[in-house]
Amino acid sequence: MIKEDKKVDNTTTELKNKEIDHIIKKLEEELKISEEKIIQEKNILKKETTAIFNRLNKEMYKSKKFSLEKIMINFLPIFDNIERSLNSVRNNISNDITDKLKEKLDFILHLLNNFLNDFCIKKINETNVPFSPSIHEAMSIHYTNKMESNQIVSIMQPGYILHDTRLLRPAMVVVSQKKN
């Protein structure tokens, strides 16, 4: 009887050990699946975080790059008036006072042009180039056979572009047209 009890105990112990082994294997599989899910979620979060970071960096760059736009649009008429003043003084009689005024206005224009260059603002004031409605505003037509049609004959008011991509103001131009 003692032998039978031992046999039953051994069989019971073996069954319990098999159950425990089965439970351990099952738990290990679940743990492995959970670890894989955690790694996948971690990778997804990492990608999303990187995407958000990149998007914010782009937005900050654009914001910084074009933050001057509104200020410059309001500043351009001042720049134009200083240029007109200098041209007016250049075309008038020359004397000591006007020469000094020309010198001062030239210096101011030089500083303003440096300012525009420092902030990647380019002036649109070329003549004898094709008319482009994306940067020019046709104010008048000049009929001539000396030029091709749709060429810029003269600039009435220069235009400006910020960072080669954003038009601050179109150039007001006179466009050529062939005589019939």
Q: Considering the domain 121-180, what is its CATH architecture?
A: Roll (2.30)
pTM of the prediction? Answer: 0.65
Q: Where are the domains of the chain?
A: 1-65, 67-119, 121-180
d(CA 69, CA 100) in angstroms, rounded, equals 33
Contacts of 109 (CB under 8 A, 6+ apart): 82, 83, 86
Give pLDDT, residue 121.
93
Give pLDDT, residue 70.
84
CA dihedral of residues 85, 91, 97, 103 (deg, nearest 10): 60
Give pLDDT, residue 3.
57
**Residue 71's closest CA among 171, 168, 172?**
168
Render each residue's pLDDT in the chain as its tens digit; 180 residues. 555 556 656 677 777 888 898 999 999 999 999 999 999 999 999 999 999 999 999 999 888 877 888 888 888 999 899 888 888 888 777 788 888 888 888 999 999 999 999 989 999 999 999 999 999 999 999 999 888 999 999 999 999 999 998 999 999 999 999 987
Sign of the CA dihedral with 58 first, then 164, 135, and 84 last: positive
**Residue 122's closest CA among 157, 151, 158, 83?**
158
Give pLDDT, residue 4.
58
Give residue-wise pLDDT tens across range 53-88.
999 999 998 888 778 888 888 889 998 998 888 888
Q: Which two tokens stand for residue 130?
A: 């094709």
Give pLDDT, residue 99.
84
Q: Which of 135-158 are b and which e, b meaning 16 or more Cβ less than 10 Å from the residue's Cβ?
A: bbebeeeeeeeebeebbbbebebb
Give pLDDT, residue 114.
94
